[in-house]
Amino acid sequence: MEIFEKAERLKKLPPYLFKEIDRKKAAVMAKGVDIIDLGVGDPDLPTPPHIIEALNRAVNDPANHRYPSYSGMGGFKETVAQWYGERFGVDLDPQTEVVSLIGSKEGIAHFPLAFINPGDVALVPTPAYPVYNIATLFAGGESFFMPLLSENRFLPDLDAIPNEIASRARVMFINYPNNPTSAVADPEFFSRVVEFAKENGIVVCHDAAYTEMAFDGYRPHSFLEIEGAKEVGLEFHSLSKTYNMTGWRIGFAVGNPEAIEGLGAIKSNIDSGVFQAVQMAGIEAIRGDQSCVKEMIEVYTRRRDLMVKGLADAGFELESPKATFYLWVKVPEGYTSSGLATRLLEDTGIVVTPGNGFGEPGEGFFRIALTQKRERLSEAIERIKAISL
């Protein structure tokens, strides 16, 4: 029996995707089963040593023990702006068009508070990272879901958005390279988004956390590369996946100065900024030796190739992704997404994420995260082949 009644915003939350998976996983582990967890997208590779060394130096400097700047230290923002210029050809003013974040998830979650009033609409992709919808609900807004379907290359169909919805929409979330589908977007799609946003007065929020995790020479695009994009939106980025820094909690948002100012105003009233020593380690990550990124991509390329071939040999249908460390795999006939995930966990000890957990259009798929060593991935393939699906 609950003593305190929770706020309505909490009652509106959908079930947390990984909570039920964790419960089932714990029950199977209690039976002594060796679990191979391919569910959560948390890199198993360590943070590169030169970044750790930079943190150690910064931590030992008492100047970094005080409150940091709310919007981010100047050196970090200048580094981000320089990187955007070199990587994407995007010109940014570090003072007005860059803000440091306690991880990109934090920034995405806070952004709707700056631009969505109760009753306003956010255009939210589905299947998708759950925070887009949750952040909208917390701001009192309504999510209009844009299905990501295989026949559309997992890109939202902007023409399918009703005019009455578009007129109420204040924010649009997009995410490429995409989690969970691993789909990528081309400049033509981003150009259509810019045009749509201008026509309807919408702020575009592009979650670009996976642009540096790409394979076979493919280089994902920034939304801000597109002419007019900075007029209508901003981009969220993170050091988590590029440099295996998920636990460090450092990211940034860049783009439209009005949007950055709004996000910064929310943050300055909620948090006290990113620990400056972590920002200094972030500077080292971005400016330092990038061979660690090349090595990381090589590791995931080998894992991707092993799993794509192994799953195909086992009878599964999937495409080899150009980016991200996820595989988006079709569920065999006769199973639901959740049914297959349960079967794999109970009969093989393998954890995968059912596609419908990311949204209804994800039904018929499951997601695999390539966050285990190749030996464990090979073992997972052998276990899957050993059961009759």
| CATH number for the domain that contains residue 212 | 3.40.640.10
Asked if 181 and 90 sit in the same domain, the reply is yes
When pLDDT is averaged across residues 37-51 and rounded to a whole number, the result is: 94
**Which residues are CB-contacts of 125 (< 8 A; sequence separation ≥ 6)?**
132, 145, 146, 148, 156, 173, 174, 175, 359
Same domain (yes/no): 160, 253: yes
Distance, in Å, from the CA atom of 177 to the CA atom of 220, rounded to the nearest integer, reads 7
Chain CA centroid to CA 258, Å: 23
**210 and 345 part of one domain:** no
Torsion of CA 214, 40, 125, 248, to 10 degrees: -70
Residues 38 and 57 in one domain: no
Tokens of 124: 């939210």
The pLDDT tens digits for 13-40 are 887 767 777 888 888 889 999 999 999 8
Average pLDDT on 318-330 reads: 98
Of 369, 366, 363, 379, nearest to 316 by C-alpha is 366
* Per-residue model confidence (pLDDT) at position 41: 87
Given pLDDT bands bounded at 50, 70 and 90, which one contains residue 168?
Answer: very high
Whole domain around residue 161: which residue ranges?
49-287
User: Is residue 127 reached through a cis peptide bond, with omega within 30 degrees of 0 on the bond before it?
Assistant: yes
pLDDT value at residue 2: 72
Residues 62 and 139 in one domain: yes
164, 182: one domain:
yes
pTM (whole model) above 0.85: yes
From 269, 287, 305, give the residue that closes a domain. Answer: 287
Q: Using DSSP, state whether 213 is helix, strand or coil.
A: coil
Contacts of 204 (CB under 8 A, 6+ apart): 171, 172, 174, 193, 194, 197, 223, 229, 232, 233, 234
Rounded to an integer, what distance in angstroms lies between the CA atom of residue 352 and that of residue 331?
12
Q: Give yes or no: residues 25 and 124 share one domain.
A: no
Q: How far is CA 255 from CA 87, 104, 184, 263, 283, in A?
A: 15, 14, 21, 11, 19
The answer to whether residue 344 is domain-embedded is yes
Give the residue from 267, 287, 307 where a domain finishes.
287
- 256 and 357 in one domain? no
39 and 53 co-located in one domain: no
**Number of separate domains in the chain:** 2
Q: Which of 80, 125, 83 is nearest to 251 (CA)?
A: 80
CATH code: domain of residue 24: 3.90.1150.10
Tell me, yes or no, whether 3 lies in a domain.
no
Q: How far apart are CA 187 and CA 200, in angstroms?
A: 20
User: Has residue 1 got a pLDDT over 90?
Assistant: no
Q: What one-letter code names the amino acid at 343?
A: R
Q: Average model confidence (pLDDT) for the chain?
A: 96
**For residue 301, with 0-12 CB atoms within 10 Å meaning exposed, 13-18 middle and 19 or more buried, which class applies?**
middle
Residue 296 shares a structural domain with residue 371: yes
CA angle 274, 277, 280 (to 5 degrees): 95
Q: Are 264 and 329 in a shared domain? A: no
Say yes or no to pLDDT of 247 above 80: yes
Using one digit for the tens of pLDDT, what is the confidence trace for 181-238?
A: 999 999 999 999 999 999 999 999 999 999 999 999 999 999 999 999 999 999 999 9
Residue 201 lies in a domain: yes
Same domain, 318 and 227: no
Asked which of 287, 320, 355 is the last residue of a domain, the reply is: 287
